[in-house]
């Protein structure tokens, strides 16, 4: 009886395994050009993910939505700011990908360096308080444009068995760099000239502001990308992802 139960569980486990779509490239870790092949495979996969692939737990990476609300400051002593309905536009369209997979004794580290000509971030911005003694109480759309950004995603993986071998994400990190950051607060002030001048002033100070912007990516967005990748890894066995 126990043997029959084990057999049935094994059949179910293997029956639930998914293969990679034929459009996804597969690489052999024993070859000398493995990381180059991996870079090409990830580049191609990102391009395919202009549209979601729900069968494999993958959303569209063209417009990635972040559900969390981020709050900073306070209205008593300055400006309370809230950001919500945030979307990253263009992650599925990198100019170049450099990826490597390092196999350690206990864990595996996947590093993906993705460069873009530009990325845009759309969000709803709510502000209450004062800016240089000027009262502010507004909700407005905002578009941030990153010029020639490079995003480096690091995923630490471990193997586990569920009828066959799978990977899972146990840690995820993001490092972001950009050559410029442009701001477009659509309606922070009712005075159009003042609104335009505010955006111009923000553009000039982009390097200082980028330090804060970058911290959002590292603290808030890295776990979300880890979850997206992990949902995919739950469905596809390791042998389907990498040969060797």
pLDDT for 70 equals 84
**How far is residue 149's CA from residue 16's CA, in Å, rounded to a whole number?**
39
Q: Report residue 167 as tokens.
A: 């990977």
Percent of the chain whose predicted confidence (pLDDT) is above 90: 60
Give per-residue pLDDT as tens, 31-70.
Answer: 999 999 999 999 999 999 999 888 887 889 999 888 778 8
The structure's pTM equals: 0.85
- The answer for 109, left when phi > 0, alpha when psi is -120 to 50, beta otherwise, is beta
Mean pLDDT of 207-226: 86
Average pLDDT in the 98-121 region?
A: 96
User: What integer is the mean pLDDT of 12-35?
Assistant: 73
Residue range 229-244: mean pLDDT, rounded: 89
Question: Is it the case that residue 5 has pLDDT exceeding 70?
Answer: no
Closest to 152 (Cα-Cα) out of 181, 109, 114, 99:
114
Helix (H, G, I), strand (E, B) or coil at 52: coil
Task: Give the containing element (helix H, strand E) for 210.
Answer: helix 206-216
Domains of the chain as residue ranges with CATH: 31-243 (3.15.10.30)
Residues 41, 36: Cα–Cα separation, whole Å: 9
What are the tens digits of pLDDT across the range 152-211?
999 999 999 998 999 999 999 999 999 999 999 999 888 999 999 999 999 999 999 998
């Amino acid at each position: 009886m126990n043997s029959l139960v084990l057999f049935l569980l094994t059949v179910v486990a293997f029956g639930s395994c998914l293969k990679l779509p034929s459009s996804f490239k597969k690489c052999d870790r024993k070859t000398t050009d493995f990381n180059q092949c991996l870079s090409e495979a990830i580049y191609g996969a990102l391009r395919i993910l202009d549209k979601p692939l729900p069968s494999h737990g993958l959303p569209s990476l063209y417009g990635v939505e972040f559900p969390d609300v981020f709050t900073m400051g306070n209205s008593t002593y300055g400006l309370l700011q809230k950001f919500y309905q945030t979307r990253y536009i263009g992650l599925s369209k990198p100019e170049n990908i450099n990826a490597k997979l390092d196999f350690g004794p206990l864990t595996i580290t996947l590093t993906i360096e993705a460069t873009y000509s530009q990325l845009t971030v759309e969000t709803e911005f709510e502000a209450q308080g004062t800016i240089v003694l000027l009262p502010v109480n507004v909700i407005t759309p905002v578009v941030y444009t990153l010029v020639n950004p490079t995003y480096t995603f690091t995923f630490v993986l471990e193997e586990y068995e569920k009828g066959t071998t799978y990977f899972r994400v146990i840690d995820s990190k993001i490092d972001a760099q950009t050559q410029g950051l442009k701001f477009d607060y659509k309606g922070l002030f009712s005075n159009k000239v003042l609104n335009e001048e505010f955006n111009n002033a923000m553009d000039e100070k982009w390097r200082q502001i980028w330090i804060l912007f970058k911290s959002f990516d590292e603290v808030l967005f890295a776990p979300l990308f880890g979850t997206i990748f992990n949902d995919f890894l739950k469905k596809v066995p390791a042998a389907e992802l990498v040969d060797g």
